Chains A and B, each alone.
Chain A
């Protein structure tokens, strides 16, 4: 009573007094008859808010009551929609974490890649250290600082032996990015120049030192060099890449732990001073950039500078946007299917609630008011589904991330963990409301339309068609991805992927060691080389021949390399062991490209280190880089002159591959400098490359499966509903002597017609979509006969089944019962 305002309180008191007088009863009895005043207080509180808000409250109350009275419908709706929202939310969480969320460094919103554009419009953010220094000197006015980094794989030998990822960073990197230490100290300028110390990341500390509290001051042996641990970074600082390096080492130490090559470039970025526009900073850097890279070989010449935002781990470039748009389109399609499904269910319910709605309409409620009320009900379902979806996403996102990064993890990479943040909440709340309205609007309009316009069945049919079309698009897309992944796996690398192995050993392969391997009868060939094929990006070198400069693939190999890969020399000859002859062997593609129409043998080429070689032989092309990029456009092989510490060992197995692997491991640990090795076949090495396609196929087929499942649920529901609605008609037919089979057949035909319509509409969409998206984003073959034949067939069979099962019920209708049961 205390909650009521004075007027109302007095009014009620008067009422009670009058009631008591009228009934000749006590005030207490009158009060009891009057009912719960607390509820009135609650009602009255809403009297003073704006009218629309009061109506929203009434709608919500009504909606919640409706939901409580139909737990079955609610549970179905919430789980169907929740499933779709979970999928979209999970995806968005990853997107938000890597693409939208600012990277956790100071001044992330002012962080830009410092890049260059050449005359062909090609972009590059790679610079040499020397160039970096010159850019840095010119950047003082516009930038808080520039930083360069290079994330590479290396091997830690002590205290544990493992593959590891190191980021080489320019001096002042930590000061600039505002990194904080967990323990220890940052490096002094002198130490940054000397390159004798490193800083551990929190995950590196855990992985390599098992969180040893005494880690600072201890040493870590990376390849042949020992580094002293100066400090451990706070877990909040994970670097500037989406993967967390185990440790950071000053750039000056780069050559000590990495494969030595030709002018290893690194990525340069900078943090602008507050208030300085990217355009102004660009203008200030451009003259310097053009001065230092305006000359030299054509491949390196630049015509302008470019600053591109690097606010998040994965900046929103065109490719990222395209790929993200594509994946999101897939999942929005799933969401659409879910909504179509719920709209179908709602339509069925709306028919049942017609009477109630009509009474309300006749009592003066406007149509809009009732539509709004029905929509509120859908929106409440949407919100419940969003809660379910968020919950599922919270569990799902780390699993998905683990899967997506599982290959990376095997290689020693830790990904920056994704977490749900306000962006995700806002996103899924938005999705929930939009989809709530989406699946509620049609049925609400339908329910409140005048009784004469009965469009329910037709509308339900179109919804089914839409779902079938959407499922078809998803399934064909995933089939395309799977087929292409298979093809990638079967693609010709130019050599035997199962016989050729990489030793993956951190130690120097001495001639004695190589001879020991060669003596094994199970091993056909052993070769040392600078880089093993299929290793992603392979070294390139500037080659001068006939006065022209080219950037060509470059590998130093020994005399057994071609035999190890099984390459037959097609022209001229190969290398001879122990010979000091300065000869080179080139791939067939190189020969065509560098000396078109000329005699290749005897041509002279000068490598950027000044050494001159004469082409002595030609070999077939192989894939040295990425499998999907195909065989190398250029590849120049020169002989290994001396045994260096970084050489790879390739082995061609003669016997059983697993046995050979086991024996290789034994040789490694019993060598002069014993150490573990991890032999891998070339196919296994290529498997790492296949991974993104596999992940994409998994995502697409997951989406397709959910879509198909939802479509089947929808069909099942609609056909069941039709059977119930028309049981009287069925009864008459059966009573008049129709065969049960005919009746069932009619239902299946009716429902299945809509599916066929969906397939007919969906097919051209698939063709258009796969031609544009699949080929652009995933570099896929867009047409695959199997995908286009098998997928629709499967869809047809499954949907037929989900029409047939509920339709069978029609044949079990008892004519007598259904006729007596006044439909």
Chain B
């Protein structure tokens, strides 16, 4: 069994928040958005998406609401809350720092 990276949970949260910051969306929409924007590099594991959404909602970072889509389909649409935006800003900063650090390290050893 392949080992799942331990930080998956954390990064999925980050991706969801980022996607919802762009616009409110339903679960499938978020999946598509992430895949499209990352040009297929990131693949959302659909099974993990809904628990993550519900957890974020419980923690007050996003809010969900049943709505009817353009295709006349009832779907639960999520939007980012103020707390969610704050968390996103923090996480983005941290992530950039880590990335920058890792990138420097990688450059150094090349």
Contact = CB atoms under 8 A, between A and B. Distances in A.
Nearest to B88: A364
A39 interface: yes
A19 B46 CA distance: 10
B47 A37 contact: yes
A275 interface: no
A35 B55 CA distance: 19
What does DSSP make chain A's interface, helix, strand, loop or mixed? helix
B6 A360 contact: yes
A641 interface: no
Interface residues of B, number: 34
A458 B50 CA distance: 46
A365 B95 CA distance: 12
Given A10-B74, A356-B6, A364 B94 contact: yes
A396 B14 CA distance: 53
A362 B98 contact: yes
A15 B46 contact: yes
B27 A11 contact: yes
Interface in B23-61: 26-28, 31-32, 45-48, 50-51, 54-55, 58-59
B13 to A, nearest CB: 7
A822 B47 contact: no
What does DSSP make chain B's interface, helix, strand, loop or mixed? helix
Contacts of A14: 26-28, 73-76
A15 B14 CA distance: 21
Given A15-B28, A47-B55, A360 B7 contact: yes
A94 to B, nearest CB: 44
B109 A822 contact: yes
A44 B47 contact: no
B11 A19 contact: no
Contacts of A356: 6-7
User: Of residues B11, B32, B75, which shows the largest number of chain A Cβ atoms within 10 Å of its Cβ?
Assistant: B75
B76 A51 contact: no
Contacts of B76: 7, 10-11, 14
B98 A358 contact: yes
A46 B13 CA distance: 17
A360 B13 CA distance: 12
A18 B31 CA distance: 11
A14 B90 CA distance: 32
A34 B87 contact: no
Interface in A2-23: 7-8, 10-12, 14-15, 17-19, 22
A47 B55 CA distance: 7
Nearest to A353: B6
Given A40-B47, A47-B51, A62-B6, A363 B14 contact: yes
6 contacts: A7-B76, A11-B76, A15-B26, A37-B47, A44-B51, A363-B14
Interface of A: 7-8, 10-12, 14-15, 17-19, 22, 33-37, 39-40, 43-44, 47, 51, 54, 62, 69, 356, 358-365, 822
Closest 3 CB pairs of A and B: A35-B47, A363-B10, A362-B94
Given A14-B74, A363-B7, 6 more contacts: A7-B76, A14-B27, A18-B73, A35-B45, A69-B3, A363-B14
